[in-house]
Amino acid sequence: MTIMMNLIPDVVEQSNAFKSIRRHIHAHPEIAFEEYDTSKLVAGMLEEWGLEVHREIAGTGVVGVLRGQAGAKSIGLRADMDALPMQENNTFSHCSHNNGKMHGCGHDGHITMLLAAARYLSLNRTFKGAINFIFQPAEEGGGGAKRMIEEGLFERFPCDAVFALHNWPGLHAGEFATRSGPIMASCNQFSITVHGRGGHAAMPQHTIDPILAAANIVSALQSVVSRNTSPLDNAVLSVTSLQAGSSFNIIPDHARIGGTVRTFDMTVLDMIEKRMEDISKLTAQAHGCHAEFSFHRQSIATVNDADQTAFASSIMSAIVGSENVNTNIEPTMGAEDFAYMLSERPGCYAFIGNDMQAKNSRNFGLHHPSYDFNDDVISLGASYWVKLANAFLDGAH
């Protein structure tokens, strides 16, 4: 499928240079709060282009400030920098050099698109006001956005609105997608430890079996969404680990259960947490055990502002045509800690197509060991950032 795109010529001319930068970042992945070389590279390039650079925000975060002509408005553009703690399965020349670490979610592409936009805008400061280029650490479960905010992100770098892009498999290169309201779910982790009394498996009458209690807890937890949540509410409760025992002939002292809960609604989340705790403790008690219950609210739901989403969608449509912009994509139960920035400032989180199917019959999803960012969309993402920032600051919105 060929999509006619209204790209910025200078950005397109620089595409090979930024392709090399993206592949360098891909080959040298760093996980949450360890993005030392990545942040050094980002800060160095921003300084070279004349931006005002601030380092070590939330440890490894970087903010580059670019000021144009006199104007009171300001905008924040965010890219996440961290890789995943997983082994890469690719064999191309730019595959990961760091064992057990991989850019399996395309954050290498997010960094590069924003860098390409920063370079162009630094050479074309016709806009009014200020642009804050926010390079965030630790999006993959580390709470980097929240920590940046806690360290004064928006006090130090005022933003009237904030925006973010994420590459998305399943969307063709040249397509965008977003929606007003909730677009990604909250992310929550739970842990349940069931304590019993171990002993010989051949004499279970002398033990209190935590595995039996844990198995019943796992089964009962499946009723929380199906029987306590309205069918009209979106919620997921997944048990993803059950650990117990060390030998076939030993009943252990304890068993551990772990997993995740995803919702869009805080009231629903409160109810789910309470029901889970009651089920865990009372089911364990019914089997003669006792349970410790822990629930960690890792990230809130990502909720787009209606006005800013309409504005961002108009910029996307001007670049690729409205027929290639889905403004009502189905929300995903995945999570994104840009949610914390959107809870502080209005803005829009959007997806940019990464589909490489035309080049590679194996088109993998996010967090797959064979995933890779599509270099062909660097110019598209950078053009979007440039046009969005210029239009926002020059009063088009």
Helix (H) or strand (E) holding 224: helix 210-228
The CATH 3.30.70.360 portion of the chain extends over 187-299
Residue 394, SS3? Answer: coil
How much is the CA Rg of the chain, to the nearest whole Å? 24
What is the residue type of 46? Answer: L
User: What integer best gives the mean pLDDT of the chain?
Assistant: 96
The top-level CATH class assigned to 9-184+301-393 is: alpha beta
Strands 254-263 and 187-195: antiparallel
Vertex 174 angle, CA 172 and 180, to 5°: 85
* CA torsion through residues 284, 286, 290, 292, sign: positive
Query: pLDDT tier at 374 (50, 70, 90 boundaries)?
Result: very high
Q: How far apart are alpha carbons 158 and 114 in whole angstroms?
A: 19
Q: How far apart are alpha carbons 77 and 97 in whole angstroms?
A: 29
User: 358: which DSSP letter?
Assistant: T
pTM for this model (two decimals): 0.92
Mean pLDDT over 126-135 rounds to 97
Beta-carbon contacts of 262 under 8 Å, excluding residues fewer than 6 positions away, are: 185, 186, 187, 188, 235, 236, 333, 334, 335
Q: How far apart are alpha carbons 142 and 25 in whole angstroms?
A: 20
Residue 207, SS3? Answer: coil
What is the residue type of 52? Answer: E
**Tens digit of each residue's pLDDT (9 = 90 or more) over 76-129:** 999 999 999 999 999 999 999 999 999 999 999 999 999 999 999 999 999 999
Fold of the domain built from segment(s) 187-299: Alpha-Beta Plaits (3.30.70)
Residue 81, SS3? Answer: coil
The CATH 3.40.630.10 portion of the chain extends over 9-184+301-393
pLDDT above 90: residue 141: no
Cβ(139)–Cβ(58) below 8 Å: no
Residue 13 CA neighbour count, 13 Å, CB half:
5
**Tens digit of each residue's pLDDT (9 = 90 or more) over 267-287:** 999 999 999 999 999 999 999
